[in-house]
Chains A and B, each alone.
Chain A
């Protein structure tokens, strides 16, 4: 799975180019696994340094981006082994809504009922402004939710592939997708369908 990089670039011998080509993709992967941005950036940095040192190990059997992600995965695993403090807990431990406003009351009813959207799908498909709003809504979403949503809805990734890529359970994937869908519909309702 090539993830953020749609067309695999030829592996360059200039590592500065790697940073421009793969830096954002690696950071978004790291942020799908942890919420601390500084630590995520540190791990991406270490990943590039390891990649440079061990560049002869890249055999070309996999995509270069996949090889980089595999280094980052090891870095993240090491990180969780070293530091199990609460501040850097994995998302798997979160089954609550602490990072977003809960859309339901304690009794399980909608806090604010969804509205009826009057929309012509054909028109929306052509409307650049609408897709800008969609992009903005995805950008506002917590990174670990947006990442899974992108893989599922834009790349049509299968749940089991998302599970193995992120080392998370099926139920965690479906919880994240559910939250992401609730957030994006709320955002679109406020910013487009209002």
Chain B
């Protein structure tokens, strides 16, 4: 097992139960690979932080997503305004 596969399994382990074979291979790789061991503890830290952060803190991060551009926003409003004027 290489690091690419190992990190995929470390991530998948949060989504599904790994097979016995996968678990065994992963455990062995993580034992001998410092880089993947670090990746594993980083994932654990992230998971911990995201599950323990205050709702307010999370909401501020969550809201910082994609924004409709101002010009498009205005264009849609104009088109909708026209539509409201139609009988």
Q: How many A-B residue pairs have CB under 8 A?
A: 143
- CB-based contact B79/A49 at 8 Å: yes
**A94 contacts partner chain B, Cβ-Cβ < 8 Å:** no
A-B pairs with lowest CB-CB distance, top 9: A108-B2, A28-B66, A135-B64, A113-B35, A15-B80, A178-B11, A108-B4, A114-B38, A23-B68
Across the interface, name the chain B residue whose C-beta is closest to A124: B49
Interface residues of A toward B: which range? Answer: 35 or more
Binds B, one of A61-69, A79-87, A146-154: A146-154
* Contact with A109, one of B3, B8, B63, B67 (Cβ below 8 angstroms): B3
* Contact with A119, one of B36, B45, B63 (Cβ below 8 angstroms): B45
- B residues sitting closer than 8 Å to A (CB atoms) are 2-5, 7-8, 11-12, 14-16, 34-36, 38-39, 41-43, 45-50, 52-54, 57-69, 72-73, 75-77, 79-81, 83-84
- CB-based contact B66/A121 at 8 Å: no
Q: Interface of chain A, helix or strand or loop or mixed?
A: helix
- CB-based contact B62/A150 at 8 Å: yes
* Contact with B49, one of A49, A125, A182 (Cβ below 8 angstroms): A125
